Amino acid sequence: MSLLLEGKRAFISGGTRGIGAAMCEVFAREGADVAFSYNSRDDLAETSRGQITAHHRRALSYKVSITDRLGMKKLTRELVEAWGGIDILVNNAAINRGDNFATMTDRAWDEVTGTNINSLFAVTKPIYKQMIRQRKGTILNITSIAVKQPVDNLMLSNSLRAAVTGFARTLANEVAQFGITVNNIMPGYTRTERVQELSRMMAEKEGITPAEFVARWEKEIPMRRIGEPREFAALAAFLVSERASYITGTSIPVDGGWIKALW
């Protein structure tokens, strides 16, 4: 079978951990050159670059905050100069805090809102502009199952992921005429450092172990297990490929059946 992404040029925000790192590897395996951003550990960035080049694809990494608008404009210029364009944008990087409204602080609200919403504009706008010029491209946003079915004690995620969905659905209508698709994937409980950290925070509040808290999640999932990053990355690779060229404005869960809604 031919490669899904042969010859494509992709940029992924947050490409060193969890599903971001998995997408870097799977996209490269499917034939794409992959650039990614990160803002913490250089050793993890080196690992992600190695996973990309192992598939004989070009790899670039940028240590930059996704809320830095000037930094993202500079990154986009450099990437377009290096590769001639960007075909795929994945808005993956985000943060989360397990909390309810009663105990939420001003600082937590501002921090997560600033990162998850302001970064969406900072990352997307410069890349969107060059996609308009080349009259092709695909934008994929990583949201959450909380968009369809709110999760207890995740007030921030329930609120802000829904905002990302509204942004994406509106943008999909605006850019369809230029041959650009915009879609969302809603990950469920997936074996990532972010979910492990969340389980620790939630477990500590209830006085139980993280393993006991994860077991509670697994009981809620019809498949009785949490997902693996590679399972998520497989759908991402399809949605940003030419085979999904008539799919836009949609949100698809990868959750083992956790969402109970009909649509």
Give the full edge-to-edge strand order of the sheet including 9-13.
Answer: 59-63, 33-38, 9-13, 88-91, 137-142, 180-187, 251-254
pLDDT value, residue 217: 85
Note whether residue 220 is domain-resident. no
As a dihedral over the C-alpha atoms of residue 68, residue 70, residue 75, residue 76, rounded to 10 degrees, the angle is 110
Rounded to whole angstroms, how far apart are CA atoms 199 and 185? 21
Note whether residue 261 is domain-resident. no
Q: In the chain, which stretches have pLDDT less than 50?
A: 1
234 is in which domain, residue-wise? 9-189+228-254
Note whether residue 70 is domain-resident. yes
Q: Phi then psi for 192, rounded to 5 degrees?
A: -125, 165
**Buried residues in 199-238 as b, exposed as e (16+ CB within 10 A):** bebbbeeeeeebeebbeebeeebeeeebbebeebbbbbbe
Determine if the pTM surpasses 0.95.
Answer: no
Rounded to whole angstroms, how far apart are CA atoms 170 and 176? 10
Note whether residue 237 is domain-resident. yes
> What secondary structure letter does DSSP report for 257?
T
pLDDT value, residue 45: 95
CATH number of the domain enclosing 142: 3.40.50.720
pLDDT value, residue 2: 58
